[in-house]
Amino acid sequence: MTALDKINAREWGRLQFPSLYMLLDKNKVYIGEAKDVYARLKTHLSTTDPKIKNWHEVVVINDGRPATQSDLNDIVVRREIEWYLNRLFGLNRYTVVSQGSRQQLTGLQKTYVDNLKQELDFLLEKEGLVTKFFARVREQEVDLEEVKKLLAKNGRDIEQWSAYKAKIDGQQVFIRPGSEKKKGWQITFRDVFKDALQSGDGALLVPRGRVLLIPFAEVQKVVGDRSRYRQNTIDIYVRFTEEGATVSYGSNTVDVSRYFLIQE
C-alpha cells in the first residue's frame, strides 16, 4: 500500500475532498486542482507526466471538509487559487511546469479567495517552500535613488530633488511613502502640503512597489467637498492590490492604477 493509499484509508475514505496540490522535484513544481484529489494523485502515480517525471513529494491543501461541505468544491475558486500558486512559485524562482488561468469572481468568491491566499502565504512560508510574496513586493518601499532612475527612464525632467519634495516636469511633487494602517498606507496632508492639494497644483509620489505618481487633481476627486480643506489635516489611504492601486478618503475610493511608473 502506498503512502497515498494509507492517507486515503485513514482520512478520506470514499469521500471526495476538493483540493489544491503541488508535485515537487527540487526547484521544479507542478500545481494542480481537483475535486477528488485522491483520484487525481493516483493518476499522477500511474501515469508519468513528462513535464515533471521525477517528482518525489506532494503537498495537498484543502479545508478538511468533503465536497458536499467544502468551499473548495467551487471550481472557480480552485482555479483562481491554482493560478495564484503558479505565479507565487514563479516569483520564488521555481520552474513552474503547470499553467493556470485567471477567473472571474463574484464578491463572495473573492472574499474567500483573498482570505485563503493569506493563509496559504503563511503556511507555505512556515514550511520553507516560499519566502517572497506578492503583497510584500507590491508594497515594498523603493529607494529614492532608484525612483530617480525610474523617472529618468520614463523621460521625466527632474529639476529639484530632496527626501520629501521634488520638482518634476515643472510641477511640485511631494514624496510620501505613507504609514502602514489597516485601511492601507496612510498619507497625511497638512500645512503647505494640504494647501497644494487644495489648489490642485502638483502631484503625490508614493515610492512603493511599481511607484505611483498621482496628480493632485486625482486626489481631489476622492477628498470631495472643499469644506474638508478647513480641517487641520486630511488623511488618505493608498492600497495596493493585484489589480493595481486605489486611493480612498472616507467612503470614497478612486482607482489610480494608471499612474504607476512601471506598467505591467
Domain-located, residue 49: yes
Shared-domain flag, residues 7 and 127? yes
Closest alpha carbon to 44 in 26, 61, 58:
58
pLDDT digits (tens, 9 = 90+) for 8-32: 545 656 678 899 999 999 889 999 9
Domain-located, residue 54: yes
Average the pLDDT over 205-226 and give the result. 95
Shared-domain flag, residues 242 and 155? yes
- Assign 1 a pLDDT band (cuts: 50, 70, 90): very low
State yes or no: pLDDT of 183 exceeds 70: yes
pLDDT digits (tens, 9 = 90+) for 30-45: 999 999 887 888 888 8
3-state secondary structure of 156: coil
Domain-located, residue 42: yes
- Distance, in Å, from the CA atom of 205 to the CA atom of 197, rounded to the nearest integer, reads 13
pLDDT for position 260: 95
Indicate the number of domains in the chain: 2
Average the pLDDT over 128-133 and give the result. 90
**Residue 105 has which C-alpha cell?**
469572481
Shared-domain flag, residues 95 and 172? no
Domain-located, residue 118: yes
Q: 132, 153, 177: which is the final residue of a domain?
A: 132
Taking the complete model, does pTM exceed 0.75, yes or no? no
Q: 99, 132, 165: which is the final residue of a domain?
A: 132
3-state secondary structure of 209: coil
Which domain range does residue 167 map to? 139-259
- The average confidence (pLDDT) of the chain is 89
Shared-domain flag, residues 160 and 221? yes
b vs e for 170-180, b when ≥16 Cβ sit within 10 Å of the residue's Cβ? eeebbbbbbee
Closest alpha carbon to 165 in 181, 146, 144, 186:
144
Q: 132, 158, 174: which is the final residue of a domain?
A: 132
Shared-domain flag, residues 118 and 226? no
Closest alpha carbon to 98 in 157, 24, 30, 35:
30
Average the pLDDT over 123-151 and give the result. 89
Shared-domain flag, residues 187 and 96? no
Shared-domain flag, residues 145 and 168? yes
Domain-located, residue 264: no
State yes or no: pLDDT of 153 exceeds 80: yes
